[in-house]
Structure 1
Amino acid sequence: MYSISRVATAVALSAALTVAATGCSQEEKKAAPKLPADFCWNAFSAEDVQPLLPVGENLREDSDPFRFSERKWFVSCLLYIDGNDGFHAWAKMEDNETFAERELYETADPDPIPLGRKGLVWNTGATTHIACRPTESADLFPGKYLRLSVELRGTKGQNERKTLPGLLKQFTAFAEKHLTCA
């Protein structure tokens, strides 16, 4: 009897450990929600952005049409994961390229990147300016320069300085083509 009780205890303990280990492996499988193919104006590759998103279950996109006018100088696309910011891409028309907000990025210890004018990258974001004077067939365009930025949120301070210039390059190519910059 004594050995049967030891065997039963060992089997019960083994089953409990198996259940606990299975629970742990299921937790490790959590990932960010799958991106739709046409998110953020189709400016980015889903396979490039997907691994940068925080873990969660629900994805919601909030984006403006990618159009500028005398009254609309700023457009944005925000991806929310479970109600929290996950990814932000935005563009802003400007009359000059003084980049007044540059001081804000200096605290993030940015590195220059060879993209557009005054391109910068830091751990969780990247920004640049491009000259953009649309051709006559394009929509009314209120500025001479377009500032483009991408930012990651909820990444727990991960360093994505190697990845972000590629996303900013995709965004820049999209903007130049979409706005038919001359």
Structure 2
Amino acid sequence: MRTRRSTFVLAAAAVAITQAVLTGCSKGTETAASKLPERTCFDVFDRSDLGPLVGNGEQVNVSGPADMQLTAVRRGATCSVDVDGKDRFLASATRQPLEQSFFWNAQLIKPPADPLPLGDKGIVYDTGARVLLVCKGSQDSFQVELSLSGSTDQVEKGESRPLFTRLMKKFVEAGRQQTRCGV
């Protein structure tokens, strides 16, 4: 038969063990997303957007220009996010004349890419997405390729394509504005 004192001692021990386990589990598992700037990669994505791709880590490095305002002279902009020295996310925008074309060898993508109904042409696959924008304006006509890729090690199986589709929707909207596509 348990006494009040033994029940109290058992309860106190259980609390101490639970705290130790939880503390041990949380060491070294701080999410890298919490170390990202509030908005990143051309001011398009916020922490919660990139959280599933960056995972856990100690040191986060974001590199790239502040915007993707492309011209005939500045033809590309790339933003990369790495965590503890490992690439986790890449967003790029590339501009070229209409008479040139971007080549995507979708047959090499395994499992096969799905069409992405964004822009003038788009595909989404397990580790990224690409969209082509044809920009015909009153003063300038060109095309822009928007590309996203990322490490999906931390993403649940079957969730990477919906994730890249959501990210690409934001990227296309910002890409049209920042590159002045169709203006």
- With the length of structure 1 as denominator, give the TM-score of the two structures: 0.74
Paired residue for 1:166? Answer: 166
**3-state SS in 2 of match to 1:147:** strand
Task: Give ranges in structure 1 of 5+ residues lacking alignment.
Answer: 1-10
3-state SS, counterpart of residue 132 of structure 1: strand
Report deviation, 1:130: 0.8
Per-residue CA distance 1:102-137 (angstroms, 9 max, x = gap): 34753342111111122111111011101123565x
Q: Does 1:58 align with 2:59?
A: yes
**SS of residue matched to 2:77:** strand
Runs in 1 of length 4+ with deviation above 4 angstroms?
Answer: 14-20, 156-159
Alignment equivalent of 1:145, drawn from 128, 131, 143? 143
> Is 2:26 aligned against 1:42?
no
Deviation by residue 1:82-104 (Cα, 9 ceiling, x = unmatched)? 11111100011133474313347
Count of equivalent residues: 167
Q: Is the 8 A contact 1:33 1:57 kept in 2?
A: no
Q: Which amino acid aligns with 2:102?
A: F
**Distance in 2 (alpha carbons) for counterparts of 1:53 and 1:163:** 13
Judged with a 3 Å threshold, the aligned counterparts in structure 2 of structure 1 residues 103 and 31 are, in CA distance, closer, same or farther, namely same
SS at match of 2:51: helix
Is 127-136 or 71-80 further displaced after alignment?
A: 127-136
Contact 1:54–1:154 under 8 Å retained in 2: no
Contact 1:124–1:157 under 8 Å retained in 2: no
Match of 2:97 in 1: 95
RMSD over aligned CA atoms reads: 3.0
Indicate the percent of aligned positions where both proteins have the same amino acid.
Answer: 25
Give the gaps of 5 or more residues in structure 2: 1-9
Letter aligned with residue 144 of structure 1? F
The TM-score with structure 2 as length reference comes to 0.74
Which residue in the other structure is 1:21 paired with? 21
